[in-house]
Chains A and B, each alone.
Chain A
Amino acid sequence: MASEISWRHDVDAVLDEARRANKPVLLDFSAAPM
């Protein structure tokens, strides 16, 4: 059963949100087909 991850692409906004929400970030540097 496949599942989707809702990747975010505005990393600076993600870092701001992570700080506010006290939640870690998984940052993927990828070259995979999108």
Chain B
Amino acid sequence: MYPDRRVAKLIDENFIPARVHARDDAKEFVRLGERYNAQWTPTILFLDPAGTERHRIEGFLPTDDFLAQVELGLAQMSFKRGDFADAERKFRAVVDTHGESDAAAEAMYWAGVSRYKGTGDASALGETARAFRDRYQDTPWAKRASVWGG
């Protein structure tokens, strides 16, 4: 996934990339693995500027799914710093651009939450629940949204 130029561009534009290797950085791998509870490879953590984990990927993903997860992680970062308008835009971009990925249903759920958090308009949740009737019906995210009725 990393040799793909789309992945490299996305990471380069948005992150400082750091790697600890199980064999070549063995002591650091153990020390940081304990700090961040990373016990398997690959584990990819998305840390905000203060070093707090905001998202993680565990296990290999094909390139398109990996791209979707990186964009989902960027959206989660916006959400968790309270920038709900930016979060909603990024979550919806995951759905629009990577609609066939496993990340899409999660992104659709959080796009609705972001809209509600940013506007206070509870109808955003009902609209999200209704949207799950048309897409991603069999996902855990559809179950979570079902409580919003719609």
B20 within 8 A of A: yes
Roughly how many angstroms separate A21 CA and B38 CA in the complex, as a whole number?
25
Chain A residues, Cβ within 8 Å of B47: 15, 18, 24-27
Report, as a range, how many residues of chain B touch the other chain.
Answer: 35 or more
**What's the dominant secondary structure at chain B's contact region?**
mixed
Residues of chain B from 1 to 16 with CB closer than 8 A to chain A in the complex: 2-5, 7-9, 11-12, 14-16
- By a beta-carbon cutoff of 8 Å, the part of chain B in contact with chain A is 2-5, 7-9, 11-12, 14-25, 28-29, 32-33, 36, 38, 40-51, 54, 70, 77
25 A-B pairs with C-beta separation under 8 A: A2-B5, A5-B7, A5-B17, A7-B18, A9-B18, A9-B28, A11-B20, A19-B49, A24-B47, A24-B77, A25-B16, A25-B18, A26-B17, A26-B45, A27-B36, A27-B47, A28-B19, A29-B20, A29-B33, A29-B43, A30-B41, A31-B21, A31-B23, A34-B21, A34-B24
A8 to chain B, nearest CB (A): 5
